[in-house]
Amino acid sequence: MLKIKNINTYYGQVHALKNVSLHLLEGEIVTLIGANGAGKTTLLNSLSGIVPSKSGEIIFAGVPISSLAPSRIVKLGISQVPEGRQVFKPLSVEDNLELGAYLHYRTAAGRAEVKKTGDMVYALFPILWERRKQLAGTLSGGEQQMLSIGRALMAKPKLLLLDEPSMGLAPMITQEIFKVIESLSQEKKTTVLLVEQNARAALKMANRGYVLETGKMILEGAAAELLENNDVQRAYLGKDKKEIWER
């Protein structure tokens, strides 16, 4: 479904991604782990066109996308759930969701589908239905995360990019969100690229994983293998981290 080949991305002089390659098969959950500043968000932003790569190739469903505008990339079927949720705080829950579907308002058939997609999102996150008239800025952190995921789903993506969905959330809410991510992959066949600081939980859910270190992809493999890998255990699943994550 997706092939990233040797991309290089810069912020001015900062070489944030160095010859990074990655691929995704349809329906997979793939997680990207790495320390702070490793380049995980940059990789998602290069994929979605927000921070375009300077060289290398990104092919999505056979189409080269590395020089396309973000809106074209959304239209092709890639939606991003940004780090820190970034919901439109002064707007209601339902208006946030409708904005996620803006591309589908251009045709009558698309408009007819929006309601169905909204129903699907409300079924995944019933609390959003209860809160649909409420301003997004007044939701709890977990509810805002659900809204951010719901908004991305309104575009009907084939590939969902999730940037640190568990950040700042209580373990129970994180579990609830992870269950939904799993069901999106299993039931709706949505492909998921998941950036997570909670590496253990992410690897438990994922089919495969990649490890990014200071802009370079240093390791890839089946999630179960990475969980057992000594270097991964030491750097990302260390005892101290294990205790924090499993609290």
Residues that bind ligand ATP (CB under 6 A): 11, 14, 16, 34, 36-42
Please report how close the Cβ of residue 144 comes to ligand ATP at its closest, in angstroms: 18
User: Phi and psi at residue 132, in whole multiples of 5°?
Assistant: -60, -25
How many angstroms separate the CA atoms of 147 and 97, rounded?
Answer: 7
Of the candidates 9, 31, 33, which has an alpha carbon nearest to the alpha carbon of residue 213?
Answer: 33
Tell me which residue has tokens 């493999």.
221
Residue 124 or 203: which CB sits closer to ligand ATP? 203
Residue 47 or 93: which CB sits closer to ligand ATP? 47
Residue 125 or 236: which CB sits closer to ligand ATP? 236
User: Pairing relation of β-strands 191-195 and 14-24?
Assistant: unpaired
Residue 38 or 73: which CB sits closer to ligand ATP? 38
Q: Which helix (H) or strand (E) holds 169?
A: none
How many angstroms separate the CA atoms of 19 and 166, rounded?
Answer: 28
Residue 117 or 197: which CB sits closer to ligand ATP? 197
Please report how close the Cβ of residue 244 comes to ligand ATP at its closest, in angstroms: 15
How many angstroms separate the CA atoms of 228 and 211, rounded?
Answer: 14
Please report how close the Cβ of residue 195 comes to ligand ATP at its closest, in angstroms: 7
Structure tokens at 26: 């349809």
Please report how close the Cβ of residue 16 comes to ligand ATP at its closest, in angstroms: 4
Residue 40 or 151: which CB sits closer to ligand ATP? 40
Please report how close the Cβ of residue 126 comes to ligand ATP at its closest, in angstroms: 30
Please report how close the Cβ of residue 84 comes to ligand ATP at its closest, in angstroms: 9
The C-alpha angle 86, 21, 72, rounded to 5 degrees, equals: 45
Helices (H), the chain: 40-47, 70-76, 93-100, 108-124, 126-130, 141-153, 171-188, 199-205, 223-228, 230-236, 239-245
